[in-house]
Amino acid sequence: MVHMYHDTRQASADKLHFFGILRDIDSTSVGCLAIVIIGAPLTKGMAVTASGNKMIRYVAFLRAINVAGQKLIKMEELARIFTAAGLKNVRTYIQSGNVIFDAKQASALALRRKIEIALQKVLGYEVTVMIQSLADIEEIVRRNPFQKIKTGAEAAVYVVFLSDEPRRVPKLPLVSAIENVDIFEVSERAAFVVSRRKKNGGFGYPNKFVEKELGVWGTTRSWNTVNKILKAAEKP
């Protein structure tokens, strides 16, 4: 008798799948034969469950929660809502609403709708959610759009994650004289922004400016926070 088996062990992002054919020992057998064929590497940003199902890792960025006393929610409650919605391996990172999870669905739009419905059902108010796959975030960090920009005491850099593809993309760079921010790139459902110190000593916050100019909802994270979220999301 011949059986197929599938070993889904994964030790790292580039761990290989193993496929093989195993012949059982029976009364006429003198031993067993195992043939192993090395397959393709796992796609980055994917995980494999104990049952062998491939899952895609995502990060959900929630807009405007726990801000100025509005839309307050504890991260433990947030994780419970995501888990109840059928998402796996759910965990959160800091209080600004960053949720790491695994899902079978490959459509970010379908996931966004599913999560927003679940949040409204439990919380009683709308929360806009931006979805990025782990692979997309890894690519953003890998190429680092800010690498040629001098930062420090007078400049800060942000990523504004977008709910959808922009309805319009004005000629870039796009500058807000009021907020003293520059949108210099829009790609991968994200806007990349430099914020320079204003006369009052603070830095301009780009969220409203980006939403107005691009015609979609957005939520802002500092570049430093994006890097930390990525490290958290890459853990098993």
Chain segment 169-196, per-residue pLDDT in tens: 889 999 999 999 999 999 999 999 999 9
pLDDT at 157 over 50: yes
| Domain locations along the chain | 2-42, 54-137, 139-233
CATH code of 54-137, in short, is: 3.30.70.1280
Residue 7, pLDDT above cutoff 80: no
Q: Got the DSSP string for the chain?
A: -EEEEEE---SSTTPEEEEEEEEPP-TT-SS--EEEEEEEEPPTTEEE-TTS-EEEEEEEEESS-SBTTBS---HHHHHHHHHHTT-EEEEEETTTTEEEEEES---HHHHHHHHHHHHHHHHSS---EEEEEHHHHHHHHHH-TTTTS--BTTEEEEEEEESSS-S--PSSSEEETTTTEEEEEEETTEEEEEEEB-TTSSBPP-HHHHHHHHSS-EEEEEHHHHHHHHHHHT--
Q: What is the pLDDT of residues 217-233, one digit of tens each?
A: 999 999 999 999 999 99
Question: Is the pLDDT reported for residue 22 higher than 60?
Answer: no
Global pTM?
A: 0.78
